[in-house]
Structure 1
């Protein structure tokens, strides 16, 4: 089966309003969850809040079970087109000639808890 690709604009139009379908984006995968809203254990409004948007973080933060993730697969209709996928974050800027040293110092500062 050939994968369909959708733009962010197409996904945004499917926001569940005015008779539109309810699509969500999770990890660059597009899901049509229109028929699942009534069956969602947490209530359909938790999904419609993210309709037409990327809800990857919210989905992950909710701690969905493995069964929930498996069930989601049946609603997949395609993927986000490559040109709309987020660019990789730039590397942490460095100030010394040894980038590993700068990164280690910065991370130690963040995790120490005593530095303020």
Structure 2
């Protein structure tokens, strides 16, 4: 059953922060990657990877403007996915942010007078 997906908690990922002999794991788009063997080969320098070790790094990864080749290369380091419960925490935050935005839009509508 090599195709069985392994699931990791945020806490498990956080322990793999690349410090004190720990492995170097990152989360990108709910996927968990063990980039321990890649840190020294990263074109931007290993310190950039280590800055996000043990953390959710999707925004940083996307903001860096990685090429399609870099995204393909990342796939070989995938060891599993973030467990559903931890994904929901992020989803709840997104829903909360959306609700705040909706309230602002509604308040703008009420105070505008031109709508």
Give the TM-score range, shorter chain. 0.7 to 0.9
Higher helix share: 2
| Matches for 1:54-69 after TM superposition, within 5 Å | 54-69=56-71
Aligned length: 102
Does residue 91 of structure 2 align to residue 87 of structure 1? yes
Q: Which of 54, 69, 72 is the equivalent residue of 1:70? A: 72
- For residue 42 of structure 2, what is the aligned residue in structure 1? 40
Structure 1 segments (4+ residues) deviating >2 Å:
90-95, 101-105
TM-score, scaled to structure 2: 0.80
Cα deviation, 1:50-73, whole Å, max 9, x if unaligned, reads 000001100000000000000000
Query: CA RMSD for the aligned pairs?
Result: 2.3
Cα deviation, 1:51-100, whole Å, max 9, x if unaligned, reads 000011000000000000000000000000000111241443449xxxxx
- The runs of 5 or more residues in structure 2 that have no matched partner are none
